[in-house]
Structure 1
């Protein structure tokens, strides 16, 4: 999510020929289904962290705004996406070697960077140059089958009458950034001019591959306008999580409950609180189970970052439900894995991206997370490693 500079938080369907009859198992349980007994939530502990220098210059680009990360199984490196909307340099990604093991994070060394390209091969312009063609990059995933880069951008609901409307998208790029296709998204992910769909800066940020790499699961960052108000200090909200085939067919859609705001805002601040889901990550051995990152910022109190173990098992399929505010639905169940305030980090900042890292000798799996500094000197680009059991 794009945020104000003042420490603000967050801030062509792809036609593939693979037949995916088996992915139907990842959709909602059929009527009469009996849910499995509840399993213990994952547990996490801190391995270490590394702070990337502010506005690090790398090959003529400014490293920052890192809002998504994934591990490339073809190289062992990591891919980071910057949410620079081509204001500083063209919208782009970075590759990096992250040295992490059971003893911590030893280094983060950037190895490459490329801009993303439009279908015609052109670079993406900044909103000030051409708002209708601008993008807001937020998440990147490396295709487990092809090692191409799939990336999400949340589009733009215009703040002023007559301004261009840019739809969110999940695009596919070659490893050099060239356009290779686009995933067809659910109809209710579309931004409309009649006040339906995602709110401004609370659109599509999070997605992940799951179930033998055949299912793409995505989450809208905040509640759709028709689904009710955003969270406040008294109430949380429901956001939509969608499972699709790689060709775009919707298998199911579910309501994920995000927490209420944890503190009142500083009354002297011009910025209201901000909360949502910036990242979701599939467990490799369970098509229904995900790690969900919730990120909240409150003026005067800073960030609250929480990680949850969540499941679609037993949840209502809401793809045909027009408004979650007008229907009783069974939401996804979730359990707290980690509150970043309790991990012993040097600082808790705007964490937006996560991916699985290497397995550890202990049998735990490492989890790599990154924070988006919004190119703000009062924020940090922080790479964190957790051990998850």
Structure 2
């Protein structure tokens, strides 16, 4: 959950209770050595389905769905909720989706389980202040063992004296029991003057190379990597490829877009942007779909999907700070701007996964939006056809 989304979620909870210097080398022009020759995928809308607001399912409140993946062992889909144990214990859901070339016909939830700590207990609310709370944001089903790997952002406290909660990628069984933790790169850790900004840590995770490679992305630029984007400049976020045991295989700089509009000057909230999800192509371990989500006061959301590659990009794992360094970032091409798809609403889309292949040969992409349990937002399932 990003900063602007927390502001909106906080309002709902009350009802319930500078410029980046151009120091990065431009991507190679078409035809230059190392330039990407892969043609970008194209997308068209198949359909959408809205889940009823605050749907009650087995005593839990369905909402805050910020990650989705398909479980090949069951054929069902799994969603993670970013409820930090405020409403009910931090949890995930399973569901059957009826999606085909004619659209999204139904979303039927089939189960829910709390995410459990190593000692078997549920995760506590941050209100306890014991440093054991989590901020779940992404979930992936391990294609090797069908366990659930899920990312949580931790917490860089806004108030001095509160505990730092480090971001992490946890591993759970389908019944919620804890099975391990992936060791993250050192620069993913929060320190006084280094690491992820508040609410801009690990929010994107994907498996590649048939489960042999785990790729994660930081939502926004690390503190040492330069300012957040504004209406003039974008920024760089780190994308890391690791082995299943945690060995870093490579780290790359992904360029996120500049802010698309000026904020409403009467709003107390500034713009918010970042990478909430990344998805590996099944047949290319260096190629990814990258979701960019931006919110601007007075203008709402802009959701864009990009086809990106690490091929030819500088490995920055040993680069302490990207600002002021000459590195070649990942290259990307626009696949879809959600405002051009004909959706009923463009909201806080945060999760995506591959769906079934259509008779046309197109691959479906299923996306979900996080309503943050707010009455002015929606839980929206969107199906795209990609070719």
DSSP 3-state at the match of 1:280: strand
- d(CA) in 1 for partners of 2:71 and 2:149? 12
Instruction: For residue 130 of structure 1, report the CA deviation from its aligned partner.
Output: 3.4
Q: Which runs of 4+ in 1 moved over 3 A?
A: 2-10, 34-37
Contact 2:36 2:311 in 1 (8 A): no
Contact 2:289 2:307 in 1 (8 A): yes
* Distance 1:52-1:344 versus aligned 2 partners, 3 A rule: same
Contact 1:7 1:379 in 2 (8 A): no
* Distance 1:76-1:87 versus aligned 2 partners, 3 A rule: same
Number of paired residues?
366
Q: Match for residue 295 of structure 1?
A: 293
- d(CA) in 2 for partners of 1:225 and 1:291? 25
Contact 2:129 2:162 in 1 (8 A): no
Structure 2: runs of 5 or more not aligned: 11-32
Q: Match for residue 93 of structure 2?
A: 94
Q: Match for residue 279 of structure 1?
A: 277
- d(CA) in 2 for partners of 1:127 and 1:35? 47
Contact 2:3 2:272 in 1 (8 A): no
Q: Match for residue 360 of structure 2?
A: 362
Aligned residue runs from structure 1 range 246-325, under 5 A? 246-325=244-323
Instruction: For residue 326 of structure 1, report the CA deviation from its aligned partner.
Output: 2.1
- d(CA) in 2 for partners of 1:201 and 1:347? 25
* Distance 1:230-1:284 versus aligned 2 partners, 3 A rule: same
* Distance 1:252-1:57 versus aligned 2 partners, 3 A rule: same
Instruction: For residue 129 of structure 1, report the CA deviation from its aligned partner.
Output: 1.9
RMSD over equivalenced CA pairs, Å: 1.5
* Distance 1:371-1:54 versus aligned 2 partners, 3 A rule: same
DSSP 3-state at the match of 2:211: coil
Q: Match for residue 28 of structure 1?
A: none
Q: Match for residue 209 of structure 1?
A: 207
Which of 375, 381, 384 aligns to 1:383? It is: 381
| 1:251-276 CA-partner distances (Å, limit 9, x unpaired) | 00000000000000011111110000
| 1:84-138 CA-partner distances (Å, limit 9, x unpaired) | 0000000000000010000000000000000000011111010002340000000
Structure 1: runs of 5 or more not aligned: 11-33
TM (norm. structure 2) is 0.92
DSSP 3-state at the match of 1:133: coil
Q: Does 1:230 align with 2:264?
A: no
Q: Does 1:52 align with 2:51?
A: yes
Instruction: For residue 195 of structure 1, report the CA deviation from its aligned partner.
Output: 1.7
Q: Match for residue 239 of structure 2?
A: 241
* Distance 1:37-1:269 versus aligned 2 partners, 3 A rule: closer
Instruction: For residue 35 of structure 1, report the CA deviation from its aligned partner.
Output: 3.2
| 1:219-266 CA-partner distances (Å, limit 9, x unpaired) | 000000000000000000000000000000000000000000000001
DSSP 3-state at the match of 1:45: strand
Instruction: For residue 6 of structure 1, report the CA deviation from its aligned partner.
Output: 8.3
Contact 1:3 1:374 in 2 (8 A): no
DSSP 3-state at the match of 1:264: coil
Q: Does 1:158 align with 2:157?
A: yes
Q: Does 1:351 align with 2:349?
A: yes
